[in-house]
Amino acid sequence: MLIIFVTLSANPSIEQVIPSCLCDVGVDENTIIDVLVKRSNAQRQQIKASYQKASGKPLETALKSALNGELEDVVLALLKTPAQYDAQQLKLAMKGLGTDEDTLIEILASRTNKEIKEIKKVYKEEYKKELENDIKSDTGGDFRNALLSLCKATRNEDTMVNQELADSDARALYEAGEKRKGTDCSVFIDILTTRSASQLRQVFEKYSKYSKVDVTKAIDLELKGDIENCLTAVVKCAGSNAFYVLDKHIFKANISYWTHQGIPYLFLSIFYLMNTSQF
């Protein structure tokens, strides 16, 4: 049995969410999609709560029995809070043999302190493990250090810019990379994972005083592999979290990102941005 919902207004209260039809044979997939994608995440949580109260069982249980394939994956993902979804993706990225470094980078580089703290809380509740401990077990070296620094969720989020600090940081990055033989990656990690986005943008501007290339190119020249990808993502997110995700999933149209563990990741990334008001 499947209950499909309609609402009486664009911003329904729980009381306004009502069962529209019961289907014992066949599933109205179009209605399910129409209802869920036109609601904010908060409204979808209200729909879940309303269903649980009325039926005594989770909405996800009913949908699992009625749907299958990628549609089931998408619908179930949309019923999660952003933190629940991110925690799940982080767990999947470190499950079994191999590690999905791209997912670790995307989530930890683009989320706010508050979002990361909520992700860590949900991760511990769901999987009975600390996110940091799993990262330590699945990654290594400078890449692990960068992820753990991001995972602390202590980035300065002040919008005020300290010009003197920006110049000092720009010089420190240059001296830790291009100016010397070998690279002191710890300096890059410390600055790029702790300064505010507005502060970093000024650092990048000041960097031109010391180098003929921009910071992104400097990272490309000095670092390789996962740590390069991670810090490059941090630099892009300092410009715009939303456009970082869009650039990765839409503008480049890289087919490898269209599905992730069976979930159409492009579709869900768009909804993450919509539901967290990052546009």
pLDDT digits (tens, 9 = 90+) for 83-133: 999 999 999 999 988 899 999 999 999 999 999 999 999 999 999 999 999
- What spatial distance separates the first Cα and last Cα of the chain, rounded to whole Å? 38
DSSP state of 264: -
pTM more than 0.85: no
Q: Identify whether the C-beta of residue 262 lies closer than 8 Å to the C-beta of residue 73.
A: yes
Give the whole-angstrom CA distance, residue 244 versus residue 235. Answer: 9
Give the whole-angstrom CA distance, residue 213 versus residue 216. Answer: 8
Integer CA distances (angstroms), 131 to 23, 134, 143, 226, in order: 41, 5, 15, 19
Residue 263's beta-bridge partner residues?
260
pLDDT digit string, tens, across residues 129-164: 999 999 999 999 999 999 999 999 999 999 999 999
List the structure tokens of 200: 């970093």
pLDDT at 37: 80
pLDDT digit string, tens, across residues 206-256: 999 999 999 999 999 999 999 999 999 999 999 877 677 767 666 554 444
Ramachandran angles phi, psi of 21, nearest 5°: -155, 155
HSE-up of residue 172 (Cα within 13 Å, Cβ side): 16
List, in order of start, the domains of the chain with CATH numbers. 2-78 (1.10.220.10), 82-152 (1.10.220.10), 163-239 (1.10.220.10)
